[in-house]
């Protein structure tokens, strides 16, 4: 959850970017729905058809200045490019790059280099009984195990069992 101040900064940044785009293109654009429910190593995602942007709250908190300037602009540029140029453009193509460089005056970088240690989704560790081989399960597969699904080792056909750990990183 974001603090009220952080949320205000995010909303102000989005509004500023839309004002820049509207002044440049002499057109109005529908404002997106903003969700702060993105997890893992991805900083932001734009859903073009639904006009939604999802942001990673942990990465925003840990990289506030850069995130607000670059990541927010990156995702808003996706929506503006889609809404102005249409659906037949490349995600990071020349239209998106033009918006980033010319309209927003931001380098058109595709990827971030944030430290994602606190944001990364940690795997659930399981083990086969025959080889003591550690197997990483996604949260989806882990949830299925909790609901009764049994996964078997391909070698020995024994059930693959969760490694119970006291470390919070495995939760």
Residues with a known catalytic role:
75
DSSP string, 70-88: IIHHHHHHHHHHHHHH-SS
Identify the DSSP state of 127: E
Quote the distance between the C-alpha of residue 72 and its chain's center: 11
Structure tokens at 114: 């944030």
**DSSP bridge partners of 47:** 52
- Rounded to 5 degrees, φ, ψ at 83 are -70, -30
Asked whether the beta carbons of 72 and 63 are under 8 A apart, the reply is no
């Amino acid at each position: 959850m974001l603090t009220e101040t952080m949320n205000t900064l995010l909303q102000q940044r989005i509004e500023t970017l839309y004002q820049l785009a509207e002044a440049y293109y002499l057109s109005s654009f529908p404002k997106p729905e903003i969700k702060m429910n993105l997890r893992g190593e991805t900083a932001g995602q734009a859903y073009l058809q639904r006009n939604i942007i999802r942001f990673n709250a942990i990465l925003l908190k840990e990289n506030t200045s850069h995130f607000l300037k670059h990541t927010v602009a990156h995702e808003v540029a996706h929506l503006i490019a889609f809404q102005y140029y249409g659906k037949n453009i490349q995600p990071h193509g020349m239209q998106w790059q033009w918006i980033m460089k010319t309209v927003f005056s931001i380098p058109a970088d595709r990827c971030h280099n944030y430290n994602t240690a606190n944001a990364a989704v940690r795997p659930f560790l399981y083990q086969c009984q025959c080889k003591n081989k550690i197997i990483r399960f996604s949260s989806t597969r882990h949830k299925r195990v909790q609901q009764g699904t049994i996964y078997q080792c391909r070698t020995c056909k024994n059930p693959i069992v969760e490694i119970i750990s006291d470390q919070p990183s495995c939760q």
